[in-house]
Amino acid sequence: MKAAYRKTDDPGNVPSGKGIDHNASCNKKRKFVASSSSTFVKSTKTWTIQYGSGDAKGVLGTDTVRFGGPTEKQLVVPTTTFGLATHISSDFKNDPTDGILGLAFTSLAVDRVVPPLINAINQNLLDQPLFTVWMEHRGKLEGAVGGLFTYGAIDTTNCGPVIAYQPLSSATYFEFQMAAIGLGSYTNSKAYSVISDTGTSFIGGPKTVTDAIAKAAGAKYSALEESYTISCTAKPATLDITIGTQKYSIDPVNYIVSAGTNQCLFAIFPFNFGGFGPSWILGDPFIRQYCNIYDIGQKRMGFAASLQK
């Protein structure tokens, strides 16, 4: 039966797996035990991956993958190839998650392994070949529901009407064009290639531009924190991003993040892709403000106002 399924989880960019023959960083992780599955098919193929922070390696296997918890309605995707990590770097040691669920395109995946959701679409298991991400503004909470993934449908409960769609410029990441970005008196109208990424906590871009935006907001770069700091009582203007002909404004509540007692971070960071790939990453501050609709079938991004509770 085709349906729309929901899951409260956080995806990464490429398929990975859970520790089995593990190193010390896997000790506190819940493990996938292949011998407990009657449908698991092992492989001799190995994989390695390097993330922005950290790395992992392991072996491939095939099994039935289920989206959703044991008490929830599940999306069941048979014959799905995934990675079982035999090593994860110390970067992930204290991360509460056990693995990474990649939701981007096959062309980005390690060894061109078909990601689980693409596999579900290929098997015609969803009403529509897309998913919606809604993120709730919850502040510094751990172990609490912070949003919702809706697979196979647009989330009309937590998201307003679709404002606009933007064609993807590359079906690797969810990559598209941004026409301008600015805050207050500062505007940069250069066209940039950007990606939407739920796995990135801040918004990232070229340092010359992030420095100018931070200055306009009254934020300062801290070498110690390796980030921009800002007064928690600051009331800067909205951060305005133009995609196509539509301007999307991000309120300060979504880009000023508490970092402890009387200290806040300006949720933008400088980075350089080295001339390859996108120039900007639209991470969680943008997604908290606007639901992101990842339309895989029509290779486009949709945006809708996030209905915060």
Q: Note the pLDDT tens digit of each residue in 102-112.
A: 899 999 888 88
Find out whether 163 and 241 touch, Cβ atoms under 8 Å.
no
**How many whole angstroms from its chain centre is CA 119?**
19
Give the type of residue at 296. Answer: I
d(CA 165, CA 170): 15
Q: Tokens 């599940």 correspond to what residue? A: 74
pLDDT at 275: 66
Q: Do 256 and 262 meet the contact criterion of CB atoms below 8 Å apart?
A: no
- How far apart CA 143 and CA 17 sit, in angstroms, is 21
Amino acid 34 reads A
DSSP result, 108-171: GSGGGPPPHHHHHHHTT-BSSSEEEEEE----S-SSS--EEEEESS--SSSEEEEEEEEE-SEE
Pairing of strands 280-282, 192-196: parallel
Alpha-carbon span 286 to 282, nearest angstrom: 6
Q: Could you list the beta-strand ranges (E) of 68-124.
A: 75-88
In this predicted structure, what is the pLDDT of residue 138? 67
- Number of Cβ within 10 Å of residue 177's Cβ equals 16
Residue by residue, pLDDT tens for the chain (309 residues) are 344 444 434 333 233 344 444 567 888 888 888 899 999 999 999 999 988 778 999 999 999 999 988 888 899 999 999 999 988 998 888 888 888 898 999 998 888 899 999 999 999 999 999 999 999 976 666 667 789 999 999 999 999 999 999 999 988 899 999 999 999 999 999 999 999 999 899 999 999 999 999 999 999 998 887 899 999 999 999 999 999 999 999 999 999 999 877 889 999 999 887 666 789 999 999 999 999 999 999 999 999 999 987
Structure tokens at 224: 């110690």
Tell me: the pLDDT tens digits for 153-206?
A: 999 999 999 999 999 998 889 999 999 999 999 999 999 999 999 989 999 999
**CATH of span 135-306:** 2.40.70.10
| Per-residue confidence (pLDDT) for residue 10, from 0 to 100 | 36
Contact 306, 295 (CB under 8 A): no
Q: Return residue ranges of the chain for CATH 2.40.70.10.
A: 11-127, 135-306
**Phi, psi values for residue 90, rounded to 5°:** -65, -15
Rounded to two decimals, the pTM is 0.89
Tallying the residues shown for the chain, one arrives at 309
What is the Cα–Cα distance from 65 to 76, expressed in whole angstroms?
6
Burial 289-307, CB ≥16 within 10 A → b, else e: bbbbbbbbeeebbbbbebe
- 47 contacts 57 by C-beta, under 8 angstroms: yes
Contact 184, 217 (CB under 8 A): yes
Fold of the 11-127 domain:
Cathepsin D, subunit A; domain 1 (2.40.70)
